[in-house]
Structure 1
């Protein structure tokens, strides 16, 4: 089936997918099947329909080796992300050797906050294009400029290459705040999955280094502990976009040294001290193998005295920030996050003005 689908132009596939999501609710339910309920949660119809169509097409997040998986992701990106969100101006940047893409939404001034964004993809796949519309959505929704970082990928560049690039990119952004037209005191970090991991790691490394520390952490279903398989890893090991096998594939390529995976630059949840970390919005998806470790990290931040909002999107699946072009439920969840980022940075700005 996947070979047949590959012969159909992406534009036609995208139109077909959009048409399926535009069907009346009873027809969408008939295609998706009976509601799925696990662990006291019911999967959103939008998510179940997407998974059904993905299964029928034979598509998968991992296809053979890393290079083939990257090609497959690039080919499928336009199917679910939708047309480019406007008005947002976009230009490429070089952060002293680290490629990046800079987004400026309409309506912001030259003292705007900035989100340094790290894309997901298990440290192995994904790039600036795969998360383009997610960055556009956040830029407009939160009224922030966004600097998306194209860090090096494994297995060509295993751990800690991605961490080094991510830390360097954040420091570059703060040092070049005037050039970017942003407030250096309101530079946040954020990302999804592996990018959520890198965001939290950057924040922690900056705390250890004595600053500058990000103003906020926007973490979507982050990986936080590569040493333990928690309950959600077993509950949602198969059938919900990201699988247990996919996770092993990504981690084994990124960090092959199993006996060293407790390193807090990878398993940030295992850091000895999270005191001083910036405020955070930690979003998890109910039907996601990474759900429990993301929530454990949110709890650990709170225990360390860090202001944190823990938001479980109980009816969604891993990867939802990239599904902005289909249905409505995915955009609702991303809108909540954009609001949390905008509010968190506004509170930070008010504290700066008051000297608190």
Structure 2
């Protein structure tokens, strides 16, 4: 009994200590951009986000539970699932968990199909945390939605998530009739790293003549390159809440199984061989970003002096399974109509702008929604009532509008 009381007391003081430390840090160091409304609410959400990570890191250091697993546990625990009147079915395609969302009403013919890959940097996110996003999409667009529960950290690194998404997608595309989906109206979509997976898989499926081709791709705040971390948005919003540049690079290194000691080389671009930059600068340079998104002042030298050791440790970043922005023009030109969502207060804003430019230059029709008051991950808050933001609802309504229109 004394031991249990001691352990409980110690745990309580530990949680309180971490909570106070994170709160002080939130108050003193976190800056919420003025255009974002409801700043107190924003601070509260970011505080609990950071607190969950901090507690997860403590548990990981104590070898009790890995931080990603703890975060996902808390994230899923807090989810209040809403089916929005659609039928929901948990399934497995082989060993890959998927969740199917189907409208209840009968249809006179096959429906649109939406394949959705969730966000979370390969660290967070799950079928549960994006349940409401998918069920709402199914209801509002009268579509069959298939969400993929791909494997992620801490147990699985790249390219496991990509392979899971691809394998589940191929299975679904081969069985569209079973799910009442029109092969000519299938949309591949995702958010954050899931949007990056959607961009990759849209390119891969082009070469699969045995599969129906996608009618459109919907990419919400996508990760489409891991080469240039000195783009304007990476500099302007390096410390933006929810996804700072440092946190992004930490997640990227963990996901890609790159030692954290190479983060500085990745940041400065010293891992980029001169011949690679000569080839890719026309797509990756900050010169491709419209002037209105750039701040004045001296820009850092990029890329830095080449470090061959850094390249050997990180060269899989140049793979199309990691950076779909680097695909040849002939591949980009074949991609389907695209809907892009970017958020102003997001380090990944310029990834979207670069991909938009590439698509448009190759004649791909692009519809672009830029959230002037948006931040990374805001779409998942679209139905959270008091915890929602205008940008959350705009991201969702614009996405629904685009899909309904195809």
TM score, norm. by length of structure 2? 0.71
Written as runs of structure 1 = structure 2, the 5 A alignment for 1:316-327 is 316-324=374-382, 325=384, 326-327=387-388
2:252 aligned counterpart, secondary structure: helix
Q: Match of 2:297?
A: none
| Pick aligned residue for 1:36 from 33, 38, 60 | 33
Q: Match of 2:341?
A: 283
Give distance in 1, aligned partners of 2:397 and 2:73: 25
Q: Match of 1:194?
A: 193
Give distance in 1, aligned partners of 2:120 and 2:46: 20
Taking only aligned residues, the RMSD between alpha carbons, in angstroms, comes to: 2.6
Q: Match of 1:250?
A: 251
- In structure 2, relative to structure 1, the CA distance for the partners of 1:214 and 1:61 (3 Å cut) is farther
| Pick aligned residue for 2:101 from 100, 103, 111 | 103
Q: Match of 2:215?
A: 215
Q: Match of 1:142?
A: 141
Conserved in 2, the CA contact under 8 Å of 1:116 and 1:189? yes
Structure with more contact order per residue of length (Cα contacts < 8 Å, sep ≥ 6): 1
Q: Match of 2:399?
A: 337
2:234 aligned counterpart, secondary structure: helix
Q: Match of 1:3?
A: 15
Conserved in 2, the CA contact under 8 Å of 1:61 and 1:246? no
Aligned length: 312
Conserved in 2, the CA contact under 8 Å of 1:221 and 1:290? yes
Give distance in 1, aligned partners of 2:125 and 2:47: 23
| Pick aligned residue for 1:54 from 45, 49, 53 | 45
Runs ≥4 in structure 1, deviation > 4 angstroms?
4-7, 55-58, 60-63
2:51 aligned counterpart, secondary structure: coil
Give distance in 2, aligned partners of 1:136 and 1:303: 34
TM score, norm. by length of structure 1? 0.80
1:261 aligned counterpart, secondary structure: helix
Conserved in 1, the CA contact under 8 Å of 2:72 and 2:126? no
- In structure 2, relative to structure 1, the CA distance for the partners of 1:187 and 1:134 (3 Å cut) is same
Conserved in 1, the CA contact under 8 Å of 2:187 and 2:218? yes
Q: Match of 2:360?
A: 302
Q: Match of 2:224?
A: 224
1:59 aligned counterpart, secondary structure: helix
Larger displacement relative to structure 2 (285-294 or 234-243): 234-243
- In structure 2, relative to structure 1, the CA distance for the partners of 1:213 and 1:150 (3 Å cut) is same
Unaligned ranges ≥5, structure 1? 8-32, 345-356
Larger displacement relative to structure 2 (97-106 or 203-212): 203-212
Unaligned ranges ≥5, structure 2? 1-12, 20-29, 259-312
